[in-house]
Amino acid sequence: MDQQVEQAVAAFRSLLQEQLARVDAMAHAKAPTDWQKAAHIVIGICPGDGIGPILMRETRRIMEYMLQDEIASGRVELRNIDGLTIENRQAVGKAIPDDVLSAIKACDVVLKGPTTTPKGGTLESANVAMRRELDLYANVRPVVVPQEGIDWTFFRENTEGEYVLGSRGIEIEGQLAMDFKVTTDLGTKRIARAAFEYARQNGKTHVAIVTKANIMKKTDGKFSQLCHEIAAEYPDIVAEDYYIDIMTANLVNERTRNKYQVFVLPNLYGDIITDEAAQIQGGVGTAGSANLGDNYAMFEAIHGSGLRMMEEGRGEYANPSSVLKATAMLMRHIGYADKADKLENALLVCNESERRLVMTGNATGATCKEFADYIMEKL
């Protein structure tokens, strides 16, 4: 037993040194990219697993249509990146194979299809690995339900919390297992500033800081404290603390939920509560997600790879709305707000106001291609 304890202590020491090195890297990061001045923007397209290649096939077709002038002039390049599949990742034992990671880093932004993460074992989530490797610290997820007065934007810290060391905990065989949660000053301040800056630029007056600081006093307590330090620089914006458990209840309280505007929260809580918010909007298939860093960005659907749909032969009926919302976020990020608006408006018409075609996930509704054709017609 003593030997196992010493091994665990040595493993923890290594993790602590690694995280301190990450803090040092954040402190010396290069200046953010100004996308408005970029002469050439490479958009990497990773199809992913399951229904991913089907969704991305139709999404690429829409992107090629919308960006045809920019592609023709050479300002924008769409570059397919193969190999980010569960089979390839398991074969090499890496969340992102080395050649795939190199290809991703050769791009400026990435549009990624859903990827499968196995239960158990040691193979890390491709999403978690990509966020860490590209330092994509802000996961931004908008949820809008106009008829209910809901206009929420979630800023989930993306590179810390329980996920940064989620596959590297310590186990004393037959006795116990421990995982670790990480909260850094620099990491918290930059996600807080991203949330408050977004609120200021978009005329928002309220930011909800969501933690479990009454229980997780060191990590969540630090997160709340640092968010309030940043909030002091934005006196026109009200910053309020909420615990994650009551906030999950508040989002389904129809009498008061429309008072919320912007949320900032640690990694795990953000992962869970944004799925709840997406369900209120109409399901996880309706929500897109941006993963933003200072020099790279990755955009994706928030749903999984739909392996059951593929097993049941329903893959062609997968709804591309979530990936298309992510595509709109991508276009806005690289400076094409007008094109993002057009795509978002087309999605609103096709999914809400007109609904000439309905996605049901099976043969009772439209196929992915038919829905994409419908979107292009409205564009």
pLDDT tens-digit map of 180-236: 999 999 999 999 999 999 999 999 999 999 999 999 999 999 999 999 999 999 999
**Where does the pLDDT of residue 174 fall: very low under 50, low under 70, confident under 90, or very high at 90 and above?**
confident
Q: Would you say residue 164 has pLDDT above 90?
A: no
Q: Would you say residue 139 has pLDDT above 90?
A: yes
**Is domain 37-136+293-379 annotated with CATH 3.40.718.10?**
yes
Nearest to 118 by CA among 152, 143, 85: 85
pLDDT at 256 (0 to 100): 92
Q: Would you say residue 261 has pLDDT above 80?
A: yes
Residues 6+ apart with CB under 8 A from 352: none
- The position carrying tokens 């914006």 is 237
pLDDT at 325 (0 to 100): 93
pLDDT at 30 (0 to 100): 87
pLDDT at 55 (0 to 100): 97
Cα–chain center distance at 244: 19
Cα–chain center distance at 21: 24
Please give the residue that has the higher pLDDT: either 147 or 67.
67
Q: Would you say residue 4 has pLDDT above 90?
A: no
Kindly list the domain boundaries of the chain, sorted by start residue.
37-136+293-379, 146-152+172-281
**Where does the pLDDT of residue 34 fall: very low under 50, low under 70, confident under 90, or very high at 90 and above?**
confident
Give the tokens for residue 119.
Answer: 């239960």
For 39-80, the DSSP string reads S-EEEEEE--STTHHHHHHHHHHHHHHHTHHHHHHTSEEEEE
Q: Which of 28-42, 237-251, 302-316 has the highest mean pLDDT?
A: 237-251
Q: Would you say residue 285 has pLDDT above 70?
A: no
Using CA atoms, how far apart are residues 288 and 319, in angstroms rounded to an integer? 12
Using CA atoms, how far apart are residues 91 and 309, in angstroms rounded to an integer? 24
Range from 133-137, 287-291, 364-368 carrying the lowest mean pLDDT: 287-291
Instruction: State the average pLDDT over residues 302-321.
Output: 93
Instruction: State the average pLDDT over residues 233-244.
Output: 98
Please give the residue that has the higher pLDDT: either 373 or 144.
373
Instruction: State the average pLDDT over residues 249-273.
Output: 96
Range from 28-42, 251-265, 304-318 carrying the lowest mean pLDDT: 28-42
Whole-number average pLDDT of the chain: 93
Percent of the chain with pLDDT over 90: 79
* Fold for the domain defined by 146-152+172-281: Rossmann fold (3.40.50)
Judge whether 149 and 336 are in contact, CB under 8 Å.
no
Using CA atoms, how far apart are residues 53 and 315, in angstroms rounded to an integer? 10
